[in-house]
Amino acid sequence: MISRISKWLVLTGLACLLLSCGNVEPEIVQLQGTTMGTYYTITLVLDAKQQKTEDLSQSKLKFAIDKKLELVNAQMSTYIPDSELSLFNQSKQSFVVSKATAFVVNSALKIYKQSQGAYDITVGPLVNLWGFGPDKRPTKVPSAGLIARQKLRVGGQYLTVQGTTLQKAIPDLYIDLSSIAKGYGVDVISEYLQSLGINNYLVDIGGELRAQGMKPKNKRWTLAIERPTVGKNVEQVIHIGDNAIATSGDYRNYYEFNGIRYSHTIDPNTGKPITHKLASVTVINKSCMLADAYATAITVLGPKVGLDFAKKHQLAVFLIVKKGDKFIESYTDAFKMYLVQEDL
């Protein structure tokens, strides 16, 4: 009899453990702030033990995250006059930067080569000329002469990285990492959370995101690709798994002169904003830095060459092309697995 009761106790004890009797529900924490001229929203899930850990309190986490993002800005921002990147831009020949900046520049140079110059971080002088950099917006469209003059300063072939030294072959070379630094920032924060033992999170900096794990109750992080219109309309619902996602498009950051739309993505070949009908490019990749840069690269390449490029490099890419007042979708085979078919 006694043994039967004790066996029963052990069994209910075990069941209790498995079902976590007196269980503390996982807690969702959301941290918000601003960085890199945009917002950030970090959503993370803390288990019972983590909820009691002083170092994982909301204020401590937010403080540490802000510090990490400030560091990325101090390294890679063209909006901060004494950032590493700005000091390199002001130098005439070479400048020693952090490992982080060298890593991002090296990664950008790889995509420069892969995209045969369509993606080019030395396009900065043209970005600024068209009013999408730290300088003021122009009051008229830049003249052909001005464009030609700035184009002379542009070219990834003039930039080399040796260890952590960035070198320029022409003194006026100027780098702009706006197309990649946000994605890199998302990776930095994701890896930081991971290092704290937080395995369930969604990091979002200005629409570049990285997801890991699940929400409580085994719910997946459900994301949406926006329809490239004014307002927030959903084009496609997706589940990205443990991956990052970045979108580039001409529908958020642009201005109009005399009815013509000027986008912040510059074709280094023409020295002008892109004019094709590719409205948005979404890339899913393990690395948010790469997703961010590839999304910009494909935006420059345009709908056809961009899609061919994505297929050639086996990238998971979703394109939205504007045709009249309709939007036409296309995507690579690698993207298919992330699409959520049914309405949620």
Q: Which is nearer to ligand ADP, 121 or 198 (CB)?
A: 121
Query: Site residues (CB under 6 A) for ligand ADP?
Result: 119-121, 123, 127, 132, 176, 178-179, 182, 248, 252-253, 264-266, 268, 292, 295-296, 299-300
Q: How far is the CB of 186 from Mg ion (least distance, A)?
A: 11
Query: How many chain residues touch Mg ion (CB under 5 A)?
Result: 5
Q: Which does 127 bind (CB under 5 to 8 A by kind): ligand ADP, Mg ion, none?
A: ligand ADP
Q: Is 115 in the site for Mg ion (CB under 5 A)?
A: no
Q: Kindly state the tokens that stand for 308.
A: 């061919």
Could you tell me the smallest distance in angstroms from the CB atom of residue 72 to Mg ion?
A: 15
- Residue 204 found at the interface with Mg ion (CB under 5 A): no
Stretch that binds Mg ion, among 71-79, 81-89, 289-297, 321-329 (CB under 5 A): 289-297
Q: Is residue 317 within 8 Å of 310, Cβ to Cβ? A: yes
| 332 is an interface residue for Mg ion by CB under 5 A | no
Q: Which residues contact 125 (CB under 8 A, 6 or more apart)?
A: 150, 153, 154, 172, 174
- List the Cα angle 32/38/42 in 5-degree steps: 30
Residue 268 binding: pick among ligand ADP, Mg ion, none (C-beta 5-8 Å cut-off by kind): ligand ADP
Rounded to a whole number of angstroms, the CA Rg of the chain reads: 23
Partner whose binding site includes residue 266, from Mg ion, ligand ADP, none (CB under 5 to 8 Å by kind): ligand ADP
Asked if residue 187 binds Mg ion (CB under 5 A), the reply is no
Q: Does 285 bind Mg ion (CB under 5 A)?
A: no
Q: Please, which residue, 31 or 105, has the CB nearer to ligand ADP?
A: 105
Smallest distance, Mg ion to C-beta of residue 92, A: 29
Q: Is 185 in contact with 175 (CB distance < 8 Å)? A: no
Task: Point out which span in 44-52, 223-231, 288-296, 323-331 binds Mg ion (CB under 5 A).
Answer: 288-296
| Residue 166 phi, psi dihedral angles, 5° rounding | -95, 135
> What b/e sequence results for 94-111 when a residue is b if at least 16 CB atoms lie within 10 Å of its CB, and e otherwise?
ebebeebbbebbebbbeb
Q: Which is nearer to Mg ion, 61 or 246 (CB)?
A: 246
- CA nearest neighbour of 61 among 27, 32, 24, 100: 32
84 binds, among Mg ion, ligand ADP, none (CB under 5 to 8 A by kind): none
Of 123-131, 149-157, 247-255, 306-314, which part binds Mg ion (CB under 5 A)? 247-255
- Answer whether 303's CB lies under 8 Å from 321's CB: yes
Q: Are 156 and 112 in contact (CB under 8 A)?
A: yes
C-alpha span between 210 and 287 (Å, rounded): 8
183, 247 contact by CB (below 8 A)? no
Residue 166's binding partner out of ligand ADP, Mg ion, none, with CB under 5 to 8 Å set by partner kind: none
Query: Do the Cβ atoms of 69 and 189 come closer than 8 Å?
Result: yes
Site for Mg ion in 292-311 (CB under 5 A): 292, 295-296
The contact set with Mg ion (CB under 5 A) reads 179, 248, 292, 295-296
